Amino acid sequence: MGEAATFVKASTLGGIIPSLHSAKALAGAIINGGNYEKELGNLKREMRIHLKIRRALDRFSDADYDALLKMMNKESVKKLLKEHSRDEYSGNSFALKLLMAQPLLTKFLFKAL
């Protein structure tokens, strides 16, 4: 489970939350006689998103980081980040809201491809 199962966020190297999610998936599979791999569906999706973020960040130059920080410092972005928990940050609807709050972030989408 967790770090032992390589469920570490590639973007932050955090493993505590993924460990808890994988433990919950395992418990659910055992208690309900379900499929552990199926129970891990959302966690695996989130891990793929974090890997894409890591790959994009690996391509950033110092100028890219400076530009990103300036964009994220915009009041509309700060307001959005305050209104949502970090558990919501990886969802598609949050990403769309973030792009609406700061359209210039689309510049970095190509780095993630």
Helix axes 92-101, 75-83, angle to 10 degrees: 160
Q: What is the predicted pLDDT for the residue at 62?
A: 95
Q: Kindly state whether residues 46 and 76 are assigned to the same domain.
A: no
Where helices occur in the chain by DSSP H, the ranges are 16-32, 36-39, 41-58, 62-72, 75-83, 92-101
Task: Tell me the pLDDT band of 65, cut-offs 50, 70 and 90.
Answer: very high
Q: What is the mean pLDDT of residues 56-69?
A: 91
Q: What is the predicted pLDDT for the residue at 31?
A: 94
Q: Are 15 and 7 in contact (CB under 8 A)?
A: yes
Q: What is the predicted pLDDT for the residue at 66?
A: 95
Q: Give this prediction's pTM.
A: 0.69
> By residue range, what is the domain housing residue 51?
1-58
Task: Tell me the pLDDT band of 3, cut-offs 50, 70 and 90.
Answer: low
Among 69, 66, 64, 77, smallest CA distance to 110 is for 64
Q: What is the predicted pLDDT for the residue at 67?
A: 92
Q: Kindly state whether residues 39 and 65 are assigned to the same domain.
A: no
Q: Kindly state whether residues 26 and 44 are assigned to the same domain.
A: yes
- CB neighbours (10 Å) of residue 70? 11
Average model confidence (pLDDT) across the chain: 84
Number of domains present in the structure of the chain: 2
Q: Kindly state whether residues 53 and 77 are assigned to the same domain.
A: no
Host H or E run for residue 64: helix 62-72
Q: Kindly state whether residues 18 and 54 are assigned to the same domain.
A: yes
CA 105 to chain centre: 16
Among 34, 50, 105, 107, smallest CA distance to 76 is for 105
Q: Kindly state whether residues 50 and 77 are assigned to the same domain.
A: no
pLDDT tens digits for range 12-46:
888 888 888 888 999 999 999 989 989 888 888 88
Q: Kindly state whether residues 3 and 53 are assigned to the same domain.
A: yes
